[in-house]
Amino acid sequence: MKDHPIHEHHAHQHGANCGHPAVIHDGHTDYLHDGHLHHLHSDHVDEHQLSITTQNPAACTPTHRCDGHESGHRHGTNCGHQAVSHGDHVDYLVAGHLHFAHGAHCDDHGVLQLT
C-alpha cells in the first residue's frame, strides 16, 4: 500500500549539484522542483507539501523589512527567486525565508532552511 503521493514520470535524478536547491523540511532533505518539495524515497520521488504551521504561518506581515531584495521587487515567474508552494498559495524563497507577494508588500511566511 502506498500511503503518500508519488511524483510520476520523474526522469530527473535529484542529488548534489543537480541544480535544485535542497531544503530542510520536517527534519529531512527535500529538493525544490517547480515549486514542489521532492523527497527521494528509495526508488521513487515523494511529493511533499509545505503545510501552514506555527513555524511557517500564512500571516500578513505588512511591516516586514527585509534586505532580501529591493523594495518594489515583484515576485513572479522568472523574478529570480525560487517558487515554493505553501498551503494553498505560492511563496518565493528569499534569503532563507518565504515571501508571499501581498499587494505592495511581502508577507514573511517563516524560515525555509537550505541545506
Contact residues for Zn ion (CB under 5 A)?
A: 14, 18, 20, 25, 30-31, 37, 39, 48, 60, 66, 68, 75, 79, 81, 86, 91-92, 99-100, 102, 106-107, 109
Q: Which residue is nearest to Zn ion (CB)?
A: 66
Q: Compute the distance between CA of residue 24 and CA of residue 26 in angstroms, rounded to an integer.
A: 7
CB of 80 to Zn ion, least distance (A): 6
CB 55 within 8 A of CB 110: yes
- For 18, 40, 74, 113, the CA distances from 60, given in Å and listed in that order, are 34, 33, 17, 21
Minimum CB distance to Zn ion smaller for 7 or for 60: 60
CB of 1 to Zn ion, least distance (A): 20
CB of 50 to Zn ion, least distance (A): 8
